[in-house]
Amino acid sequence: MGFLAVDRKIATIPQEVIARANAKLMDAHLADYDALAARLVRVNIDIEDLVEKLMAFSVGLPSWGMVSGGTRYARFPLPGEPTNVFEKVEDCSVVNQLAGLTPRVSLHFPWDKCDDYEALRQYTQTLGIGFDAINSNTFQDQTGQKRSYKFGSLSHSQLATRQQAIEHNLECLDIGKKLGSKALTVWIGDGSNFPGQVEFTDTLERYLESLRTVYGQLPDDWRLLIEHKMYEPAFYSTVIQDWGTSILCAQALGDKAQCLVDLGHHAPNVNIEMIVARLSQFGKLGGFHFNDSKYGDDDLDSGSINPFQLFLVFNELVSAEKRAERTGTRFTPSYMMDQTHNVTDPIESLLNSARAIAGAYVKALIVDRDAMRAYQEDNDVIMAHNCLRLAFESDVRAALAMARVRMGGAIDPIAAYRESGYRAHKADTRKARTELAGGIV
């Protein structure tokens, strides 16, 4: 049994392994699918339409999410985890092969630097996947770096440090062009830890001045995605701390600048779904980093803590899609994951997350929006709310599984993955990562 990709845009895991795993479950799967189809017919929904939309739906994988993450205190390496970008992409192809909904990889630099980007692009194409937004990193100092980002990067008080951060983002832009990406995501950790440390207005002005240089180099078909975060690593103030500052900066920069929403980058109990509605209403919702959180920016598996919120986010996204169809406007946010996996196999966590995200999407598709609108106009609170609750409580797993099967994936992705022995094989053939120090990635 081989595990190297062959020249057919596929097969990191042998397809016969998936076929054998599916054969064990096929009868029960088809029975569940028929039962769901019959139930949906009663509410005038064609299950085939849902499956078709699911097969067209996709979410990008984080390259950095393919390795064991960590906390501030420790990191516990996983046998067989990737040690370079080629191996990360190979693991991403496993997720896509089994889940069928994750055909893009989002890279992070300088973590994913390599010597030959054309070879990386060709290898990725061989695996049947492509690249999503490129992510820059000016929140860490790198080996050989001349100037430190300890006190900021794009908003630093010193021009030379800001210029270094600008040049790094331009380098990321050049790499993205070589790989076929169409977006640059910029998140900075700039801020302050003490009152009086910085002038709030000055730091934002310097940030905008720096980003204007980067924005000016964007190709016409690219987007600049501004990512906000409430706190951390700065704990008193953050330069781009919320969606309000993000949209103001995006509006100041121009049409190619949009906002990226990370589900973990908000205060507890913030109404993220309303943020999604506001940004999409004004044409500035550019992308998503899907994850989940319990206490802060935990980067937990999507839907593992608050699946109802994930569904409510997709309810707003589907509403925005339908609004764009009615008005003839363009609505194409980039959906990506941003997770760190401390105690699980990253591939298994990402398979679960792909299922949760796709499940939230299809549940949002079956919301009876006409009925909900009528209840809203009549101020019938319970019935309007129940339109959402009924969709959320629906068991749509059979539709998700059918979409996966028709795309060559697995009815039960984790079972097929474990049956393949992929992780054990990679533990035997890959160089081990031995660093044990703390750190998220």
Token pair of 392 as six digits: 């959320």
Indicate whether 255 pLDDT > 60: yes
Separation in Å, CA 328 to CA 10, 259, 322: 36, 21, 10
Q: Which two tokens stand for residue 245?
A: 């500052």
Cα separation, 152 vs 173, in Å, equals 21
Confidence of residue 7 (pLDDT cuts 50, 70, 90): very low
How much is the pTM? 0.95
Dist CA 133 CA 223 (whole Å): 9
Residue 37 has pLDDT above 80, yes or no: yes
User: What is the per-residue pLDDT for 76?
Assistant: 87
Question: Which long-range contacts (C-beta less than 8 Å, at least 24 apart) are formed by 372-380?
Answer: none
The chain-wide mean pLDDT, for the chain, equals 94
Q: Which residue has the higher pLDDT, 437 or 383?
A: 383
Q: How do strand 257-262 and strand 285-290 relate by DSSP bridges?
A: parallel
Read off the pLDDT band of 437 (50, 70, 90). Answer: low
Per-residue pLDDT reduced to its tens digit, 299-327: 999 999 999 999 999 999 999 999 999 99
Q: How many whole angstroms separate alpha carbon 179 and alpha carbon 234?
A: 33
Q: How many CA atoms lie within 13 A of 46 on its CB side?
A: 4
Among 207, 136, 133, smallest CA distance to 167 is for 136
SS3 83: coil
DSSP SS3 for 46: coil
Residue 33 is predicted with a pLDDT of 98
For residues 401, 405, 409 and 415, what is the CA-based torsion angle, rounded to 10 degrees? 50
Q: Do 398 and 29 form a contact (C-beta atoms < 8 A)? A: yes
Is residue 210 within 8 Å of residue 239, measured between CB atoms? no
Span 60-116, pLDDT tens digits:
999 999 999 877 788 888 999 999 999 999 999 999 999 999 999 999 999 999 999
Q: Among all chains, which residue has been given the structure tokens 């080996």?
A: 143
pLDDT of residue 69: 86
Mean pLDDT for 210-228 is: 98
Q: What value does the mean pLDDT take over residues 3-14?
A: 56
SS3 59: coil
C-alpha 350/C-alpha 338 separation (Å) is 10
Regarding predicted confidence, which is higher, 365 or 77?
A: 365
User: Distance between CA atoms of 116 and 319, rounded to whole angstroms?
Assistant: 42
pLDDT band at 432 (very low <50, low <70, confident <90, very high): confident
Chain Cα centroid distance, residue 381: 33
Residue 126 has pLDDT above 80, yes or no: yes
Phi-psi category of 261—alpha, beta or left, where left has phi over 0 and alpha has psi -120 to 50?
beta
